[in-house]
Amino acid sequence: MALGVGLTAVPAQGHQHGRSPVQGIEHCTATACHFALPPGTYDVRVTLGGDDASSTAVGGETRRALLPETAVPAGERTVRGFTVNVRTPEGEPLGPGGTPGLDLTVGGAAPALAGIRVTPARHARQILLIGDSTVCDQPGDPYSGWGQRLPQYLRKGLSVANYADSGESTVSHLGNPLLWDTVRPLIRHGDLVLIQLAHNDRTTDGTAYRSNLETLVEGVRERGGEPVLVTPVVRRRFSADGTLDNDTALLVNGLGVDHPAVIRSVAADRDVPLIDLTARTKALVESLGVEGSKALYLYDEKRDNTHTSVHGATLYADLVREELVDLRLVPEGGVRVG
């Protein structure tokens, strides 16, 4: 990796401006940067490129994708920006605390970071995520949630605060003070709150499931946020005819509750924007077929047809990006095209 001599970092605890023509270069190594910052939302401006042709991607915190791989011709520089949420715990709400401050990773086929500037975000809009293990910031390979891959598709001014947690249902999310009672006060006027909870509601009856979704919707609205209901990603379970039309794949629980159908109904009755990720992921999985769809999930690694690989989570995050624009929840200029 090429590390440019123009690297700057602002602000950092105890950092004094003007002492050196190369302010903040000590915050980065060849593959990573660390900024001693308190929890909050920060704008990051990176300058990419070097003497040779380069291709650089930026990640951060708990394996979040923050900037997609960006190619820069030899001898040129390209500036990119993104907004990042720094919190404790930095990943799943019930997971380990992680490292204090902001940690970034610099990767790609031929990484070249020529400069970086970190400043408090003053006008950022939050996209808060409430969900399960298919959404969360997964701590280790080969797992990845679509919420972990979503930030790379958003430009500066939009941040993802991913409060999805493995194993959660509508019941457990509402009942755990470290989840709903913690997330709800963080919702600000105009924030989007995407809610995808279904995979773990195996024993939740239809009445309770609907009531729980309505409680989440009204709680978001009471804080001035905009709730967005998201139907769950499908499980990769094929029927003999090559379609995903069985209960396991399409999230119908043992009590006969059709989770996507209930979500669609609540969205219609409560006038809530709906991202039908069940329909979108079903179409994608079926188009790839039994063999081609294995790469979306952890079938080869774990014989797991529920949890997504980095590749699958990236494609599913791109579907969410498309829906956010199509529903006019974020402006087209606020996203990067996948």
Give the pLDDT of residue 26.
72
pLDDT score at 68: 97
The SS3 of residue 262 is helix
Digit-coded pLDDT (tens) for 14-36: 333 333 222 356 788 878 999 99
Residue 175: is its pLDDT beyond 60?
A: yes
Any idea which architecture 123-338 has in CATH? Answer: 3-Layer(aba) Sandwich (3.40)
CA distances for 243 relative to 149, 234, 235, 250, 254, angstroms: 27, 12, 12, 11, 20
pLDDT at position 10:
38
Kindly report the pTM of this predicted structure: 0.92
The percentage of residues in the chain with a pLDDT greater than 90, rounded to a whole number, is 89
- What is the per-residue pLDDT for 245? 85
The 8 Å CB, 24+ separation contacts for 265-268 are: 265/210, 266/210, 266/213, 266/214, 266/217, 266/229, 267/229
What's the pLDDT tens digit per position in 109-165?
Answer: 999 999 999 999 988 999 999 999 999 999 999 999 999 999 999 999 999 999 999
Whether residue 207 has pLDDT greater than 60 = yes
Can you tell me the distance from the alpha carbon of 183 to that of 197, in angstroms, rounded to the nearest whole number?
A: 15
Distance CA 192, CA 228 (A): 7
Radius of gyration of the chain (CA): 20
Query: Which positions ≥6 away from 209 have C-beta within 8 Å?
Result: 170, 201, 257, 259, 262
Mean pLDDT calculated for residue range 300-327: 97
DSSP state of 243: S
Q: Are the C-beta atoms of residues 92 and 98 closer than 8 Å to each other?
A: no
Residue 334 scores a pLDDT above 80: yes
For residue 209, pLDDT over 50 is answered with: yes
Distance CA 276, CA 284 (A): 13
End-to-end CA distance of the chain: 24
For 41-93, the pLDDT digits (tens) are 999 999 999 999 999 999 999 999 999 999 999 999 999 999 999 999 999 99
The pLDDT of 286-295, averaged and rounded, is: 97
Residue 82, CA distances (Å) to 68, 128, 258, 277 in order: 11, 16, 38, 25
The verdict on domain 1-121 having CATH code 3.40.50.150 is no
pLDDT at 3: 57
- Whether the predicted pLDDT of 338 surpasses 80: no
Q: Which residue has the tokens 């606020």?
A: 334
- Please, which residues have CB within 8 angstroms of residue 150's CB and are 6 or more apart in sequence? 65, 127, 129, 160, 162, 317, 320, 321
Other beta carbons within 10 Å of 71 = 14
For the chain, which residues make up each domain, given as ranges?
1-121, 123-338
Whether the pLDDT of residue 237 is over 90: the answer is yes
Structure tokens that stand for 90 in this block: 């930095």
**How much is the average pLDDT of 217-246?**
96
